[in-house]
Amino acid sequence: MALVPSGSGGAPVIAEVEMNGGADQSATIVRATVVQASTVFYDTPATLDKAERLIAEAAGYGSQLVVFPEAFVGGYPRGSTFGFGISISITNPKDKGKREFQKYYAAAIDVPGPEVTRLAAMAGKYKVFLVMGVIEREGYTLYCSVLFFDPLGRYLGKHRKLMPTALERIIWGFGDGSTIPVYDTPLGKIGALICWENKMPLLRTALYGKGIEIYCAPTADSRPVWQASMTHIAMEGGCFVLSANQFCRRQDYPPPSEYAFAGLGEEPSPDTVVCPGGSVIISPSGEVLAGPNYDGEALITADLDMGEIVRAKFDFDVVGHYSRPEVLSLVVDDQPHRPVSFTSAAEKAPAAKSDGTAKP
């Protein structure tokens, strides 16, 4: 597997997984926290300040791993149609929606970039592995991504959402197979899929094939049925599942004069809950260890007994003794796909930043 280079360009930081590597599963207890909190919408510096306060609080509880919701940095544009709520027409350019997108674009972050450097510093300051949902900006396209950091303050890499859902496809680009990492860390093998990507069986299988043990699932789905999906994945993959969602009220978004909130009939009152959360931590046996929480902003924390993974795999190892590769198998194209490439020696630099070479 490819190695992830350090920010200084020196020796590799953390390798992508080798199937027999990882933590000592007979003894390790990992304290993990999923953060349930809202973005400070259209204010990325304030969102980063809030993230640091939450990371500090989780670290104060002894957490070694902190997982944030989908699009925490940059914001999940709940209720917005970006001008496409009534019709989609080339002859009707939806100028108001374009201006809304311009503001959303300004709140996104470059990867690498100064916000990534700050997040890495937070992970190092509080000595935690950090999994952070962001809106990534590359050129003039936005991606819904998850960034990974280690306790030494190093940016490890990213996962870009492979398949945005419904109206998300209007505002977000599509990831490819080059950013589906699983990192072999002292805590265990850590990776992530975002929201409804978790309903894609082949994509889950790609993570299982890399030996994932701590499966992070940042999401924007607060429906009760989401809990069934998370329980199924924990049991299917024989892994711990950590799902983090935002808890938001209408007042957490800009006022009606700046932000049209569709989908709820008339304009909701400031106190109306528009996303009730549901963050949860589930064991490989399907036991709910913490959550789901629907009460407000919260830190949901649990101790993960990594030995439980071995006990779960005794019954069912989806890419091991319970597989039938002569009948069913999966091939993953993990190469980056770029719209423009150059063959001349002077222009060998990639047209798009690759996860394998990104540095803070």
Alpha carbon of 287 to those of 190, 228, 283, 307: distances in Å?
19, 12, 5, 14
Q: Could you give the CA distance from residue 50 to residue 44 in angstroms, rounded to a whole number? A: 10
213 is catalytic: no
For residues 108 and 136, the answer to whether their CB atoms sit within 8 Å is: yes
**E strands present in 225-346:** 240-243, 247-249, 273-276, 279-282, 288-293, 298-305
Which long-range contacts (C-beta less than 8 Å, at least 24 apart) are formed by 168-173?
168/144, 170/82, 170/84, 171/77, 171/82, 171/101, 171/104, 171/142, 172/135, 172/142, 172/143, 172/144, 173/138, 173/141, 173/142, 173/143
Q: DSSP per residue over 76-90, as a string?
A: --TT--TT-SS--BT
Location of structure tokens 């492979």: 162
List residues bridging with 279 in a β-sheet: 293
What are the φ/ψ torsions at residue 2 (nearest 5 degrees)? -70, 150
* Catalytic residue (choose from 16, 70, 100, 168): 70
How many Cβ atoms from other residues are within 10 Å of residue 320's Cβ? 12
- Residues labelled catalytic: 70
